[in-house]
Structure 1
Amino acid sequence: MASSTTADSERAARPSPSSSQPTRSPRPKPPPSLPAEGPGTFTTAQASGSPVGSGPLYRYRVQVEDGVDISAEGAAAEIQAILAHERSWAAHGRGSFQLVSSDADFVIKIATPATADRLCLAEGLDTRGELNCETSQGVVVNLRRWALGSPQFDGTPADYRHLIINHEVGHEIGIRTHLGCPGPGKPAPVMMQQIKGLNGCVSNAWPYDEHGRYVDGPPVQ
Protein backbone atom coordinates (compact mmCIF):
# COMPACT_ATOMS: atom_id res chain seq x y z
CA MET A 1 0.00 0.00 0.00
CA ALA A 2 2.84 2.34 0.89
CA SER A 3 4.50 1.60 -2.43
CA SER A 4 1.34 2.47 -4.32
CA THR A 5 0.93 5.74 -2.41
CA THR A 6 4.54 6.73 -3.05
CA ALA A 7 4.25 5.98 -6.75
CA ASP A 8 0.99 7.93 -7.01
CA SER A 9 2.58 10.90 -5.21
CA GLU A 10 5.50 10.89 -7.62
CA ARG A 11 3.15 10.80 -10.59
CA ALA A 12 1.07 13.63 -9.14
CA ALA A 13 4.12 15.78 -8.53
CA ARG A 14 5.50 15.18 -12.02
CA PRO A 15 4.09 17.77 -14.52
CA SER A 16 2.48 16.48 -17.67
CA PRO A 17 4.41 16.98 -20.92
CA SER A 18 1.80 19.44 -22.19
CA SER A 19 2.07 21.76 -19.17
CA SER A 20 5.81 21.51 -18.64
CA GLN A 21 7.86 24.45 -19.89
CA PRO A 22 11.60 24.06 -20.26
CA THR A 23 13.66 26.21 -17.90
CA ARG A 24 16.09 28.38 -19.78
CA SER A 25 19.35 29.00 -18.00
CA PRO A 26 20.90 32.39 -18.58
CA ARG A 27 23.53 32.21 -21.25
CA PRO A 28 26.97 32.50 -19.63
CA LYS A 29 29.06 35.45 -20.63
CA PRO A 30 31.79 34.22 -22.97
CA PRO A 31 35.35 34.61 -21.69
CA PRO A 32 37.39 37.36 -23.28
CA SER A 33 39.46 36.40 -26.29
CA LEU A 34 42.84 35.18 -25.05
CA PRO A 35 45.34 35.26 -27.87
CA ALA A 36 48.72 33.77 -27.04
CA GLU A 37 50.52 36.62 -28.77
CA GLY A 38 49.77 40.08 -30.08
CA PRO A 39 51.31 42.89 -32.08
CA GLY A 40 53.22 44.37 -29.15
CA THR A 41 51.45 47.72 -29.48
CA PHE A 42 49.22 49.11 -26.77
CA THR A 43 46.18 51.33 -26.30
CA THR A 44 46.39 53.75 -23.37
CA ALA A 45 43.28 54.30 -21.28
CA GLN A 46 42.08 57.83 -21.88
CA ALA A 47 41.03 58.28 -18.29
CA SER A 48 42.22 60.18 -15.26
CA GLY A 49 41.29 60.66 -11.63
CA SER A 50 42.15 62.49 -8.45
CA PRO A 51 44.92 61.23 -6.18
CA VAL A 52 43.75 58.65 -3.64
CA GLY A 53 45.54 57.93 -0.37
CA SER A 54 48.38 59.55 1.53
CA GLY A 55 52.13 59.47 1.19
CA PRO A 56 54.31 59.90 -1.90
CA LEU A 57 52.35 60.48 -5.09
CA TYR A 58 52.58 57.82 -7.81
CA ARG A 59 51.02 58.67 -11.16
CA TYR A 60 50.22 55.63 -13.29
CA ARG A 61 48.65 54.95 -16.64
CA VAL A 62 47.05 51.76 -17.91
CA GLN A 63 47.63 50.16 -21.30
CA VAL A 64 46.11 47.08 -22.93
CA GLU A 65 47.74 45.31 -25.85
CA ASP A 66 45.95 45.80 -29.15
CA GLY A 67 43.86 42.90 -30.38
CA VAL A 68 42.81 41.86 -26.85
CA ASP A 69 39.13 41.74 -25.91
CA ILE A 70 39.56 43.98 -22.86
CA SER A 71 38.77 47.68 -22.73
CA ALA A 72 41.67 49.85 -21.62
CA GLU A 73 39.24 52.21 -19.88
CA GLY A 74 37.50 49.30 -18.15
CA ALA A 75 40.80 47.88 -16.92
CA ALA A 76 41.88 51.34 -15.71
CA ALA A 77 38.67 51.75 -13.71
CA GLU A 78 39.14 48.35 -12.09
CA ILE A 79 42.77 49.07 -11.19
CA GLN A 80 41.79 52.47 -9.82
CA ALA A 81 39.23 50.81 -7.52
CA ILE A 82 41.75 48.18 -6.36
CA LEU A 83 44.33 50.77 -5.36
CA ALA A 84 41.70 52.86 -3.56
CA HIS A 85 40.39 49.90 -1.51
CA GLU A 86 40.50 50.23 2.28
CA ARG A 87 42.84 47.21 2.53
CA SER A 88 45.24 48.35 -0.18
CA TRP A 89 48.34 50.54 -0.09
CA ALA A 90 46.64 53.93 -0.45
CA ALA A 91 44.57 53.58 2.71
CA HIS A 92 47.59 52.98 4.92
CA GLY A 93 49.99 55.79 4.08
CA ARG A 94 52.23 53.82 1.74
CA GLY A 95 51.49 56.13 -1.15
CA SER A 96 48.85 58.05 -3.01
CA PHE A 97 47.92 56.95 -6.51
CA GLN A 98 46.57 58.91 -9.44
CA LEU A 99 45.34 57.49 -12.72
CA VAL A 100 46.56 59.59 -15.67
CA SER A 101 46.73 59.18 -19.43
CA SER A 102 50.20 60.73 -19.85
CA ASP A 103 53.26 61.86 -17.87
CA ALA A 104 53.08 58.84 -15.57
CA ASP A 105 55.64 57.59 -13.05
CA PHE A 106 54.91 54.04 -14.14
CA VAL A 107 52.66 52.15 -16.52
CA ILE A 108 50.56 49.04 -15.96
CA LYS A 109 50.45 46.98 -19.15
CA ILE A 110 48.10 44.06 -19.77
CA ALA A 111 49.85 41.97 -22.41
CA THR A 112 49.47 38.65 -24.18
CA PRO A 113 51.71 35.87 -22.80
CA ALA A 114 54.24 36.19 -25.63
CA THR A 115 54.50 39.96 -25.30
CA ALA A 116 54.65 39.75 -21.49
CA ASP A 117 57.50 37.24 -21.78
CA ARG A 118 59.40 39.51 -24.14
CA LEU A 119 58.99 42.62 -21.96
CA CYS A 120 59.91 40.74 -18.79
CA LEU A 121 62.86 38.92 -20.37
CA ALA A 122 64.34 42.30 -21.36
CA GLU A 123 64.73 42.81 -17.58
CA GLY A 124 66.19 39.32 -17.10
CA LEU A 125 62.92 37.82 -15.83
CA ASP A 126 61.71 34.47 -17.20
CA THR A 127 57.91 34.50 -16.97
CA ARG A 128 57.36 31.32 -19.04
CA GLY A 129 54.08 32.48 -20.58
CA GLU A 130 52.40 32.44 -17.17
CA LEU A 131 53.73 35.08 -14.79
CA ASN A 132 53.53 38.82 -14.29
CA CYS A 133 56.53 41.04 -13.62
CA GLU A 134 57.68 44.49 -12.62
CA THR A 135 60.10 46.27 -14.96
CA SER A 136 61.95 49.58 -15.05
CA GLN A 137 58.96 51.07 -16.91
CA GLY A 138 56.29 49.57 -14.67
CA VAL A 139 54.08 46.54 -14.28
CA VAL A 140 53.50 43.86 -16.92
CA VAL A 141 50.37 41.78 -16.35
CA ASN A 142 50.02 38.51 -18.23
CA LEU A 143 46.64 38.44 -20.01
CA ARG A 144 46.02 34.80 -18.98
CA ARG A 145 46.38 35.64 -15.32
CA TRP A 146 44.24 38.78 -15.63
CA ALA A 147 41.40 36.92 -17.33
CA LEU A 148 41.58 33.45 -15.76
CA GLY A 149 43.13 33.92 -12.33
CA SER A 150 45.49 31.33 -10.88
CA PRO A 151 44.89 27.66 -10.00
CA GLN A 152 46.72 28.32 -6.73
CA PHE A 153 44.40 31.15 -5.71
CA ASP A 154 41.13 30.36 -3.93
CA GLY A 155 38.95 33.03 -5.47
CA THR A 156 37.55 34.41 -8.68
CA PRO A 157 39.67 35.90 -11.48
CA ALA A 158 38.45 39.32 -10.32
CA ASP A 159 39.77 38.57 -6.82
CA TYR A 160 43.07 37.45 -8.28
CA ARG A 161 43.39 40.72 -10.19
CA HIS A 162 43.49 42.43 -6.79
CA LEU A 163 46.49 40.30 -5.89
CA ILE A 164 48.25 41.00 -9.20
CA ILE A 165 47.92 44.77 -8.82
CA ASN A 166 48.71 44.93 -5.11
CA HIS A 167 51.75 42.66 -5.49
CA GLU A 168 53.31 44.40 -8.49
CA VAL A 169 52.49 47.91 -7.28
CA GLY A 170 54.09 46.90 -3.98
CA HIS A 171 57.34 46.54 -5.93
CA GLU A 172 56.72 49.93 -7.55
CA ILE A 173 56.53 51.66 -4.16
CA GLY A 174 59.83 50.14 -3.08
CA ILE A 175 59.09 46.72 -1.56
CA ARG A 176 61.73 44.64 -3.30
CA THR A 177 61.74 41.48 -1.18
CA HIS A 178 59.26 38.66 -1.61
CA LEU A 179 57.73 37.15 1.52
CA GLY A 180 56.97 33.58 2.52
CA CYS A 181 54.07 31.95 4.37
CA PRO A 182 54.00 33.00 8.05
CA GLY A 183 52.37 29.73 9.15
CA PRO A 184 49.82 27.06 8.19
CA GLY A 185 46.30 28.42 7.85
CA LYS A 186 47.41 32.05 8.00
CA PRO A 187 46.73 34.56 5.20
CA ALA A 188 49.44 34.66 2.57
CA PRO A 189 51.21 38.03 2.37
CA VAL A 190 50.39 39.98 -0.77
CA MET A 191 54.15 40.14 -1.42
CA MET A 192 54.32 36.34 -1.49
CA GLN A 193 54.50 34.77 -4.96
CA GLN A 194 51.26 32.93 -4.40
CA ILE A 195 51.08 31.61 -7.96
CA LYS A 196 54.09 29.42 -7.12
CA GLY A 197 52.30 27.78 -4.19
CA LEU A 198 50.82 28.74 -0.82
CA ASN A 199 52.93 26.44 1.41
CA GLY A 200 50.07 26.01 3.87
CA CYS A 201 48.85 29.60 3.83
CA VAL A 202 45.43 30.77 2.74
CA SER A 203 44.99 32.86 -0.42
CA ASN A 204 44.92 36.60 0.23
CA ALA A 205 44.80 39.50 -2.22
CA TRP A 206 45.32 42.47 0.12
CA PRO A 207 48.36 43.99 1.85
CA TYR A 208 46.35 44.60 5.04
CA ASP A 209 43.78 42.54 6.89
CA GLU A 210 40.29 43.72 7.83
CA HIS A 211 41.70 45.26 11.05
CA GLY A 212 44.29 47.33 9.23
CA ARG A 213 47.26 45.12 10.14
CA TYR A 214 49.93 44.49 7.53
CA VAL A 215 50.01 40.83 6.45
CA ASP A 216 53.68 40.03 6.91
CA GLY A 217 55.82 36.93 6.47
CA PRO A 218 59.44 35.82 6.46
CA PRO A 219 61.60 37.29 3.70
CA VAL A 220 62.45 34.98 0.83
CA GLN A 221 66.02 35.15 -0.45
Structure 2
Amino acid sequence: MWGGLAALTVLGAAGFAAVGWASPGTGGTHTDARSVPTKSAESSPGSARPTPSASTTPPRPSASSSTSSSTGSSAGPSDQSSQPDIPTSGPGTFTTASGGSGTVGKGKTLRYRVDVEDGLDLSSGEVASEVERILADRRGWTADGRSAFQRVSSGTTDFAVRVATPGTVDKICGQYGLDTGGEVNCNVGQNVMVNLKRWELATPVYAKDVTAYRALIINHEVGHFLGQGHVGCPGKGQPAPAMMQQIKGMNGCVPNVWPYDEKGRYVTGPAVS
Protein backbone atom coordinates (compact mmCIF):
# COMPACT_ATOMS: atom_id res chain seq x y z
CA MET A 1 0.00 0.00 0.00
CA TRP A 2 5.37 3.48 4.93
CA GLY A 3 1.82 4.11 3.34
CA GLY A 4 -0.34 4.93 0.23
CA LEU A 5 -1.45 2.62 -2.55
CA ALA A 6 -3.37 2.40 -6.73
CA ALA A 7 -1.65 1.24 -8.99
CA LEU A 8 0.03 0.50 -12.00
CA THR A 9 -1.30 -2.58 -14.22
CA VAL A 10 -2.52 -4.05 -17.50
CA LEU A 11 -5.40 -6.62 -17.41
CA GLY A 12 -7.22 -7.71 -20.50
CA ALA A 13 -5.52 -7.98 -23.83
CA ALA A 14 -2.14 -6.38 -23.23
CA GLY A 15 -3.55 -3.07 -22.00
CA PHE A 16 -1.65 -1.06 -19.39
CA ALA A 17 -3.01 0.54 -16.25
CA ALA A 18 -1.37 3.27 -14.23
CA VAL A 19 -1.46 5.22 -11.07
CA GLY A 20 1.22 7.66 -10.21
CA TRP A 21 4.23 8.92 -12.07
CA ALA A 22 6.35 7.68 -14.93
CA SER A 23 10.03 8.47 -15.02
CA PRO A 24 11.45 10.09 -18.15
CA GLY A 25 12.81 6.76 -19.30
CA THR A 26 9.51 4.92 -19.35
CA GLY A 27 8.20 6.52 -22.49
CA GLY A 28 4.68 5.39 -23.22
CA THR A 29 4.74 2.58 -20.70
CA HIS A 30 1.78 2.72 -18.35
CA THR A 31 2.23 2.67 -14.64
CA ASP A 32 0.41 -0.48 -13.97
CA ALA A 33 -0.34 -3.34 -16.23
CA ARG A 34 -3.40 -5.46 -16.43
CA SER A 35 -3.00 -9.11 -17.10
CA VAL A 36 -3.23 -10.80 -20.43
CA PRO A 37 -6.10 -13.27 -20.03
CA THR A 38 -5.13 -16.56 -18.45
CA LYS A 39 -7.10 -19.58 -17.36
CA SER A 40 -7.02 -18.38 -13.78
CA ALA A 41 -7.56 -14.65 -14.26
CA GLU A 42 -10.57 -12.69 -15.40
CA SER A 43 -10.16 -12.11 -19.11
CA SER A 44 -11.32 -8.61 -19.88
CA PRO A 45 -12.35 -5.47 -17.99
CA GLY A 46 -15.89 -5.80 -16.72
CA SER A 47 -16.39 -9.29 -18.11
CA ALA A 48 -17.56 -10.67 -14.79
CA ARG A 49 -17.89 -7.51 -12.71
CA PRO A 50 -19.22 -4.61 -14.79
CA THR A 51 -18.05 -1.16 -13.77
CA PRO A 52 -20.85 0.72 -11.99
CA SER A 53 -21.86 4.06 -13.38
CA ALA A 54 -20.97 7.21 -11.47
CA SER A 55 -24.59 7.58 -10.39
CA THR A 56 -24.90 4.05 -9.06
CA THR A 57 -25.09 3.85 -5.29
CA PRO A 58 -23.77 0.51 -4.02
CA PRO A 59 -25.55 -1.23 -1.17
CA ARG A 60 -22.70 -0.54 1.25
CA PRO A 61 -20.86 2.73 2.00
CA SER A 62 -17.33 3.44 0.73
CA ALA A 63 -14.73 6.02 -0.36
CA SER A 64 -14.27 9.65 0.43
CA SER A 65 -14.50 12.10 -2.44
CA SER A 66 -12.79 15.00 -0.71
CA THR A 67 -9.13 15.73 -1.26
CA SER A 68 -8.16 15.48 2.38
CA SER A 69 -9.94 12.21 3.11
CA SER A 70 -9.13 10.60 -0.20
CA THR A 71 -5.43 11.10 0.14
CA GLY A 72 -5.39 10.04 3.74
CA SER A 73 -5.64 6.57 5.20
CA SER A 74 -5.83 4.83 8.52
CA ALA A 75 -2.18 5.60 9.15
CA GLY A 76 -0.76 9.11 9.15
CA PRO A 77 1.56 10.60 6.52
CA SER A 78 4.83 8.78 6.22
CA ASP A 79 8.09 10.14 7.53
CA GLN A 80 10.00 11.31 4.48
CA SER A 81 13.11 12.35 6.41
CA SER A 82 15.20 9.58 4.89
CA GLN A 83 14.99 7.82 1.57
CA PRO A 84 15.07 4.02 1.68
CA ASP A 85 17.60 2.06 -0.31
CA ILE A 86 15.85 0.55 -3.33
CA PRO A 87 17.75 -2.39 -4.84
CA THR A 88 17.23 -2.66 -8.58
CA SER A 89 16.93 -6.44 -8.58
CA GLY A 90 16.49 -9.37 -6.25
CA PRO A 91 16.57 -13.17 -6.20
CA GLY A 92 13.05 -13.57 -7.56
CA THR A 93 12.03 -15.75 -4.61
CA PHE A 94 9.40 -14.72 -2.09
CA THR A 95 8.36 -15.13 1.52
CA THR A 96 4.63 -15.39 2.17
CA ALA A 97 3.26 -13.51 5.16
CA SER A 98 2.17 -15.94 7.84
CA GLY A 99 -1.27 -16.07 9.40
CA GLY A 100 -4.38 -14.73 7.78
CA SER A 101 -7.46 -12.58 8.21
CA GLY A 102 -11.17 -12.93 8.55
CA THR A 103 -13.42 -12.35 5.56
CA VAL A 104 -14.38 -8.77 4.76
CA GLY A 105 -17.17 -7.83 2.36
CA LYS A 106 -20.13 -9.70 0.93
CA GLY A 107 -20.41 -11.95 -2.10
CA LYS A 108 -17.78 -14.25 -3.54
CA THR A 109 -14.81 -14.54 -1.19
CA LEU A 110 -11.49 -14.07 -2.95
CA ARG A 111 -8.61 -15.69 -1.07
CA TYR A 112 -5.29 -13.91 -1.44
CA ARG A 113 -1.81 -14.09 -0.01
CA VAL A 114 0.85 -11.43 0.45
CA ASP A 115 4.42 -12.15 -0.72
CA VAL A 116 7.55 -10.06 -0.23
CA GLU A 117 10.65 -10.72 -2.29
CA ASP A 118 13.49 -12.20 -0.26
CA GLY A 119 16.28 -9.87 0.78
CA LEU A 120 14.18 -6.72 1.06
CA ASP A 121 14.17 -4.57 4.16
CA LEU A 122 10.44 -5.09 4.54
CA SER A 123 8.42 -7.11 7.01
CA SER A 124 6.03 -9.41 5.19
CA GLY A 125 3.74 -9.21 8.21
CA GLU A 126 3.63 -5.42 8.14
CA VAL A 127 2.99 -5.38 4.40
CA ALA A 128 0.21 -7.94 4.87
CA SER A 129 -1.41 -5.83 7.60
CA GLU A 130 -1.36 -2.80 5.33
CA VAL A 131 -2.91 -4.71 2.42
CA GLU A 132 -5.57 -6.14 4.74
CA ARG A 133 -6.45 -2.66 5.98
CA ILE A 134 -6.79 -1.32 2.43
CA LEU A 135 -8.97 -4.15 1.18
CA ALA A 136 -11.18 -3.92 4.28
CA ASP A 137 -11.72 -0.16 4.02
CA ARG A 138 -15.38 0.73 3.52
CA ARG A 139 -14.36 2.94 0.58
CA GLY A 140 -12.68 -0.02 -1.15
CA TRP A 141 -13.91 -2.77 -3.45
CA THR A 142 -16.07 -4.42 -0.79
CA ALA A 143 -18.44 -1.47 -1.28
CA ASP A 144 -19.64 -3.01 -4.55
CA GLY A 145 -21.61 -5.55 -2.50
CA ARG A 146 -20.19 -8.42 -4.58
CA SER A 147 -16.55 -8.65 -3.51
CA ALA A 148 -15.19 -10.19 -0.34
CA PHE A 149 -11.56 -10.79 0.59
CA GLN A 150 -9.70 -13.09 2.94
CA ARG A 151 -5.95 -13.22 3.39
CA VAL A 152 -4.46 -16.68 3.76
CA SER A 153 -0.94 -18.05 3.97
CA SER A 154 -1.54 -21.54 2.61
CA GLY A 155 -3.94 -23.46 0.44
CA THR A 156 -5.50 -22.29 -2.79
CA THR A 157 -5.60 -18.59 -3.60
CA ASP A 158 -7.35 -16.45 -6.17
CA PHE A 159 -4.57 -13.89 -6.37
CA ALA A 160 -1.35 -12.78 -4.68
CA VAL A 161 -0.13 -9.30 -3.81
CA ARG A 162 3.65 -9.44 -4.35
CA VAL A 163 6.06 -6.63 -3.46
CA ALA A 164 9.28 -6.98 -5.43
CA THR A 165 12.30 -5.12 -6.78
CA PRO A 166 11.92 -3.27 -10.08
CA GLY A 167 13.89 -5.97 -11.90
CA THR A 168 11.73 -8.80 -10.62
CA VAL A 169 8.54 -6.90 -11.44
CA ASP A 170 9.87 -6.31 -14.96
CA LYS A 171 10.65 -10.01 -15.36
CA ILE A 172 7.28 -11.31 -14.17
CA CYS A 173 5.25 -8.68 -16.00
CA GLY A 174 7.42 -9.15 -19.08
CA GLN A 175 6.39 -12.79 -19.27
CA TYR A 176 2.98 -11.44 -20.29
CA GLY A 177 4.41 -8.97 -22.80
CA LEU A 178 4.24 -5.95 -20.49
CA ASP A 179 7.03 -3.38 -20.27
CA THR A 180 7.06 -1.95 -16.75
CA GLY A 181 10.37 -0.16 -17.34
CA GLY A 182 11.71 -0.66 -13.82
CA GLU A 183 9.22 1.93 -12.59
CA VAL A 184 5.67 0.68 -12.45
CA ASN A 185 3.35 -2.04 -11.15
CA CYS A 186 1.29 -4.58 -13.03
CA ASN A 187 -1.47 -7.16 -12.66
CA VAL A 188 -0.81 -10.29 -14.65
CA GLY A 189 -2.69 -13.53 -14.24
CA GLN A 190 -3.10 -14.08 -10.51
CA ASN A 191 -0.28 -11.70 -9.58
CA VAL A 192 -0.71 -8.14 -8.36
CA MET A 193 2.91 -7.06 -8.77
CA VAL A 194 3.92 -4.05 -6.66
CA ASN A 195 7.14 -2.28 -7.61
CA LEU A 196 9.22 -1.66 -4.46
CA LYS A 197 10.14 1.79 -5.77
CA ARG A 198 6.51 2.87 -5.89
CA TRP A 199 5.70 1.18 -2.57
CA GLU A 200 8.46 3.07 -0.79
CA LEU A 201 8.63 6.37 -2.69
CA ALA A 202 5.13 6.84 -4.15
CA THR A 203 5.00 9.61 -6.79
CA PRO A 204 5.36 13.42 -6.62
CA VAL A 205 1.60 13.91 -6.19
CA TYR A 206 1.55 11.59 -3.18
CA ALA A 207 5.11 12.12 -1.94
CA LYS A 208 3.92 13.52 1.39
CA ASP A 209 1.56 10.61 2.04
CA VAL A 210 3.09 7.36 0.87
CA THR A 211 0.48 5.43 2.84
CA ALA A 212 -2.26 6.89 0.65
CA TYR A 213 -0.37 6.00 -2.50
CA ARG A 214 -0.02 2.41 -1.37
CA ALA A 215 -3.80 2.30 -1.14
CA LEU A 216 -4.01 3.59 -4.69
CA ILE A 217 -1.65 0.89 -5.94
CA ILE A 218 -3.65 -1.91 -4.33
CA ASN A 219 -7.06 -0.51 -5.25
CA HIS A 220 -6.05 0.12 -8.86
CA GLU A 221 -4.36 -3.22 -9.45
CA VAL A 222 -6.94 -5.30 -7.58
CA GLY A 223 -9.56 -3.34 -9.53
CA HIS A 224 -8.03 -4.66 -12.72
CA PHE A 225 -8.08 -8.18 -11.30
CA LEU A 226 -11.79 -7.69 -10.64
CA GLY A 227 -12.29 -6.75 -14.28
CA GLN A 228 -12.29 -2.96 -14.06
CA GLY A 229 -10.86 -0.92 -16.92
CA HIS A 230 -9.29 2.51 -17.10
CA VAL A 231 -11.32 5.69 -16.83
CA GLY A 232 -10.42 9.35 -17.15
CA CYS A 233 -10.92 12.42 -14.99
CA PRO A 234 -14.65 13.19 -14.69
CA GLY A 235 -14.10 16.95 -14.42
CA LYS A 236 -11.92 19.70 -13.00
CA GLY A 237 -11.82 19.69 -9.23
CA GLN A 238 -13.48 16.30 -8.91
CA PRO A 239 -11.87 13.28 -7.22
CA ALA A 240 -9.61 11.24 -9.47
CA PRO A 241 -11.03 7.72 -9.87
CA ALA A 242 -8.91 4.91 -8.48
CA MET A 243 -9.06 3.35 -11.96
CA MET A 244 -7.70 6.51 -13.58
CA GLN A 245 -4.07 6.39 -14.73
CA GLN A 246 -3.06 9.10 -12.31
CA ILE A 247 0.59 8.47 -13.12
CA LYS A 248 -0.02 10.14 -16.47
CA GLY A 249 -1.29 13.32 -14.84
CA MET A 250 -4.30 14.44 -12.82
CA ASN A 251 -5.92 16.32 -15.72
CA GLY A 252 -7.70 18.70 -13.37
CA CYS A 253 -8.83 16.07 -10.87
CA VAL A 254 -7.84 16.17 -7.23
CA PRO A 255 -6.03 13.25 -5.57
CA ASN A 256 -8.15 10.31 -4.49
CA VAL A 257 -7.13 6.72 -3.81
CA TRP A 258 -10.45 4.96 -3.14
CA PRO A 259 -12.93 3.37 -5.59
CA TYR A 260 -15.94 4.65 -3.63
CA ASP A 261 -16.68 7.80 -1.66
CA GLU A 262 -17.92 8.15 1.90
CA LYS A 263 -21.53 7.96 0.74
CA GLY A 264 -20.97 4.70 -1.11
CA ARG A 265 -20.91 6.24 -4.59
CA TYR A 266 -18.57 4.77 -7.18
CA VAL A 267 -15.92 7.30 -8.22
CA THR A 268 -15.52 6.97 -11.96
CA GLY A 269 -15.12 8.88 -15.20
CA PRO A 270 -15.27 8.39 -18.97
CA ALA A 271 -13.89 5.08 -20.18
CA VAL A 272 -10.47 5.19 -21.82
CA SER A 273 -8.47 2.55 -23.63
TM-score bracket, shorter-length normalisation: 0.7 to 0.9
Question: Partner of 1:75 in structure 2?
Answer: 127
Partner SS state of residue 219, structure 1: coil
Q: 1:154 to 1:216 in 2, by over 3 A?
A: farther
Partner residue, 1:140: 193
Deviations 1:124-175, CA, capped at 9 Å, x for gaps: 1111111110001220000010011112337511110000001111111121
**Does the aligned pair in 1 maintain the 2:201–2:207 contact within 8 Å?**
no
Q: Where does structure 1 lack aligned partners over 5 or more consecutive residues?
A: 1-26
Q: Which runs of 4+ in 1 moved over 3 A?
A: 27-33, 152-155
For 2:225, the equivalent position in structure 1 comes to: 172
The alpha-carbon distance between structure 1 residues 28 and 209, as it changes in their structure 2 partners (threshold 3 A), is closer
Aligned to 2:162: 109
Distance in 2, matches of 1:72 and 1:29, equals: 23
The structure with higher relative contact order (CA 8 Å, sep 6+) is 2
Which amino acid is 1:63 matched to? D
What is the letter of the counterpart of residue 107 of structure 2? G
Q: Is the 8 A contact 1:120 1:127 kept in 2?
A: yes
Sequence identity (%): 56
The question of 1:38 aligning with 2:90 is answered yes
Q: Which has the larger radius of gyration?
A: 1
What is the rounded CA distance, in whole Å, between the counterparts of 2:127 and 2:186 in structure 1? 17
Distance 1:101 1:29, change over 3 A: farther
1:1-221 to 2 correspondences below 5 Å: 30-102=82-154, 103-153=156-206, 155-175=208-228, 177-221=229-273
Distance of 1:52 and 1:210 partners within structure 2: 18
Take 1:28 and 1:213, find their aligned partners in 2: how far apart are those partners?
A: 33
Q: 1:28 to 1:118 in 2, by over 3 A?
A: closer
SS of alignment partner, residue 43 of structure 1: strand
Q: Distance in 2 between matches of 1:109 and 1:94?
A: 24
Aligned pairs, how many? 194
Amino acid at match of 2:243: M
Is the 2:233–2:252 contact (alpha carbons within 8 Å) kept by the matching residues of 1? yes
Aligned letter for 1:121? G
Higher helix share: 1
CA RMSD of aligned residues (A): 1.7
Preserved CA contact (<8 Å) 2:143 2:264: no
